[in-house]
Amino acid sequence: MLNQQPSLDLMFQALADPARRSMVERLSRGPASVSELARPLDMSLPAVMQHLAVLEAGGIVASEKVGRVRTCAIRPEVLSLAEQWINQRRTQWERRLDRLGDFLAAEDEETT
């Protein structure tokens, strides 16, 4: 089961590019065709397709071709994996900072 999930490395790599983040943001409002995704971007359709391939490899986007139209949709369950990873890091750092704050408060009390 773990091997079926996209790796975090591929997800973050896919999100590293501003054009791909723009596509993800557009897809967060609902499915869109490749031409709809390409419209606001200053790049060729083949370049947009390459970016979509990276997003699909990262598991962030799924696409389906019906006739001549390829429609893309975001996979929120996959993005939630990245969110969980980030939240775990945040929780760890908040605990560390809380302990540091307790330590510094105790040091301050000892000096006064």
Tokens of 96: 């560390």
| pLDDT recorded at residue 17 | 96
Between helix 8-15 and helix 76-111 the angle, nearest 10°, is: 90
Q: How confident is the model at residue 3 (pLDDT cuts 50, 70, 90)?
A: very low
pLDDT in tens, 28-86: 999 999 999 999 999 999 999 999 999 999 999 999 999 999 999 999 988 888 888 88
Between helix 18-27 and helix 45-57 the angle, nearest 10°, is: 80
pLDDT of 2 higher than 90: no
In the chain, where the domains are located: 2-111
The backbone torsions φ and ψ at residue 59, rounded to the nearest 5 degrees and listed phi first, read 80, 5
Rounded-to-integer distance, Cα 95 and Cα 32, Å: 41
Q: Domain 2-111: which topology?
A: Arc Repressor Mutant, subunit A (1.10.10)
| pLDDT recorded at residue 80 | 87
Q: What is the pTM of this model?
A: 0.75
| pLDDT recorded at residue 65 | 93
